[in-house]
Amino acid sequence: MTVLLRVDREHPAPEPIARAAAVIRAGGLVAFPTETVYGLGANALDSDAVARIFRAKERPTFDPLIVHLVAAESLREVVSHVPDVAVALAARFWPGPLTLVLPRGPQVPLAVTAGGDTVAVRVPSHPVAHALLAAARVPIAAPSANRFGRVSPTCAEHVLADLNDRIDMVLDGGSTQVGVESTVLSLAGPVATILRPGGVSREALARVLGEVQVAQELPTEGDSLISPGTTLKHYAPRAVVLLYRGELVPVLERMRHDLSQHLARGEKVGLLLVDEDSPAFAEFPVTTARLGSVDSLEEVAQQLYGALRILDQAGVSVIMVRDLGSEGLGLAIRDRLTRAAAGQVIVVAEGTA
């Protein structure tokens, strides 16, 4: 039976944190909140504990894990070399939602890195995550606390829906703030490369690094990955996701047209909508989930995974949503929706709606 311990987000009490840390040190699994999503944590230096993560999540071994540290000063516990650029990035963005891919230290089990010679590391800013790392006194490997490939959890209830009785403990610190995972940045090549967009924007990284590129190639099925969360289908609900991209007016017209077709076939459709788009679909008898305002991508990111779960719980077979661009957090939102749609994006040109 999974134990649920509620903790205050800002000031977590020592007793539940100490209990969770003891579970980690004993080789167990603890789900805990970070500023991005809930993570499923185990001692990153314990191969058996790491293997339990993969079994609980039904996660393929080719998908590596992120190692969470209590502070940047702990980097040398898990990496073999800390380049100057990593020091500069850590000074600017840690604690926070940025993961750096660096050379693996020999003490990190190969299971953590999918057999690779690099390891993904970050320092989370959530007070509960920080308290757990400090009390555990070991690096904690922690992918999202959900079944592999499914919608990531942003509250303890989501964790229990996926992993109850599969893990030892959940620290319930309320809803997460960012709502999408960390940005994963590789420093292995001549140009810093975003492998997974996330809570730190490309624009923010460019202000520190100058040139930053975004990886475009999708991995081949079964290949070992450098970064977690980069399989073609990921962050996915049970329903089929249809993602529409293009100029606003023709996209909304095409969505209305396609929605009518789905309803005529008797399908149960769900809509993921920003507030500004809701009037365009007011007359349709469909289940909708609110994302927030298009003027606040921070709110959209925070609401995204919960909204997908709401539509799944409603039993819809199709989810329709429009792309919100690639500026700021829009790039991370686009990435998650593209993977939820298994890469199938409906590009709408003007005059074709």
Domain ranges of the chain: 3-214, 240-348
What are the residues whose beta carbons fall under 8 Å from the beta carbon of 151, sequence distance 6 or more?
158, 235, 236, 237, 305, 308, 309, 312, 340
pLDDT in tens, 56-78: 999 999 999 999 999 999 999 99
pLDDT of residue 235: 76
Look up tokens 């709606």; give the residue.
Answer: 353
pLDDT in tens, 270-290: 999 999 999 999 999 999 999
Taking the domain 3-214, which CATH number applies?
3.90.870.10
Same fold, 3-214 and 240-348: no
> What pLDDT is attached to residue 341?
94
- Determine the Cα–Cα distance for residues 271 and 287; give it in Å rounded to an integer: 6
CB burial string 316-350: b at 16+ within 10 A, e below: bebbbbbbbebebbbbbbbbbbbbbbeeebbebee
Question: Using alpha carbons only, how large is the chain's radius of gyration in Å?
Answer: 20
Residue 76 token pair = 């040398």
How does pLDDT run across 24-52, given as a tens digit for each residue? 999 999 999 999 999 999 999 999 999 99
Q: What pTM, to 2 d.p., does this model score?
A: 0.94
User: Could you tell me the CA-to-CA distances from 75 to 32, 121, 299 in Å, in that order?
Assistant: 21, 8, 32
DSSP 256-318: HHHHHHHHHTT--EEEEEEGGGGGGGTTS--EEEEEE-TT-HHHHHHHHHHHHHHHHHTT-SE
The fold for domain 240-348 equals Rossmann fold (3.40.50)
Cα dihedral: 135, 43, 117, 192 (round 10):
-40
Identify the residue whose tokens are 């040398």: 76
Q: What is the spatial distance between Cα 135 and Cα 292, in angstroms, rounded to a whole number?
A: 37
Strand partners, 102: 119
One digit per residue, the tens of pLDDT, for the chain of length 353 reads 999 999 999 999 999 999 999 999 999 999 999 999 999 999 999 999 999 999 999 999 999 999 999 999 999 999 999 999 999 999 999 999 999 999 999 999 999 999 999 999 999 999 999 999 999 999 999 999 999 989 999 999 999 999 999 999 999 999 999 999 999 999 988 899 999 999 999 999 999 999 999 998 555 555 566 677 666 666 789 999 999 999 999 999 999 999 999 999 999 999 999 999 999 999 999 999 999 999 999 999 999 999 999 999 999 999 999 999 999 999 999 999 999 999 889 999 876 65
Checking DSSP bridges between strand 240-246 and strand 318-322, what pairing results, if any? parallel
